[in-house]
A = this chain, B = another copy of it.
């Protein structure tokens, strides 16, 4: 069967393709009676314009590419849901890709999205450096960053004040009397860099020496448990852990629980995102 085409509609209404198109798009002057016939035919045939044909003419796809690390991190699930909602209301559709924090996957996704001719891109970049993203910059396709950005790249971005995030978390723990504070950080991206800066600033402001052994990098949220476990095996000396995100905190709590380390009595844990499941 397939979809009805404009030609089918025109034929049923007894008019030309051009007239059918005008009637359907409310363009130019079309006789009331003619328009009515066309609309009825379109309805009878369940006509819906082929977006491929339209896109070919207009050079537009009404499609936005979304590239985040993974929607398995509820933070990004929320971001994507919000984007989808607003865009749907505007008649746009989203194509979703995941980088899983891997630069190569990110490049590949950008290639895919551009090949799909998206009208724009919303990206949570894996790295804070624009390496290997020439394709994107040279494409002339508009893009904005979300959650993270790239210093020096001239485009809009929606982020929080990550340096303040690092400071707030660290200050809080210091105020609670902690001086040996682990930082389980993400890597490469701007949020990671800025939160770490906030962390270091706070330590410095309180005269606490910064111990590199306390800062651990996690490539990917799901590795947090392993990284924390390793630190514990190594006998890391700390009384608190500042986690880059809630997802990592779950892994940390698990590593701690596995060793019978009580939270917060023996180890305080703080993290960011304020995700629903953390509010129990």
Contacts and interface: CB of A to CB of B under 8 A. Distances in A.
A158 interface: no
A72 B61 contact: no
A276 interface: yes
Interface stretch (A29-37, A48-56, A185-193): A48-56
B98 A81 contact: yes
A1 B61 contact: no
Interface centre among A77, A85, A114, A253 (most CB of B within 10 A): A77
A140 B2 contact: yes
Interface string A106-143: 00000010111100000000000000000100101000
Interface in A59-112: 59, 61, 63, 70-72, 74, 77-78, 80-81, 84-85, 88, 93-98, 112
Number of copies: 2
A153 interface: no
A213 interface: no
Contacts of A71: 71, 77, 80-81
B81 A117 contact: no
A274 to B, nearest CB: 13
Contact of A277 (B55, B78, B98, B277): B277
Contacts of A61: 52
A88 B72 CA distance: 17
A117 B3 contact: yes
B84 A98 contact: yes
B94 A96 contact: yes
B59 A2 contact: yes
Interface centre among A74, A114, A135 (most CB of B within 10 A): A74
B77 A97 contact: no
A250 interface: yes
B88 A81 contact: no
A18 interface: no
A257 interface: yes
A264 B52 CA distance: 57
Contact of A74 (B51, B74, B97): B74
Contacts of A197: none
Given A94-B96, A257-B280, 4 more contacts: A2-B140, A50-B56, A52-B61, A71-B77
Interface of A: 1-3, 46, 48-53, 55-56, 59, 61, 63, 70-72, 74, 77-78, 80-81, 84-85, 88, 93-98, 112, 114-117, 135, 138, 140, 222, 247, 250, 253-254, 257, 276-277, 279-280
8 contacts: A50-B56, A50-B117, A52-B52, A71-B81, A74-B77, A84-B98, A93-B116, A95-B95
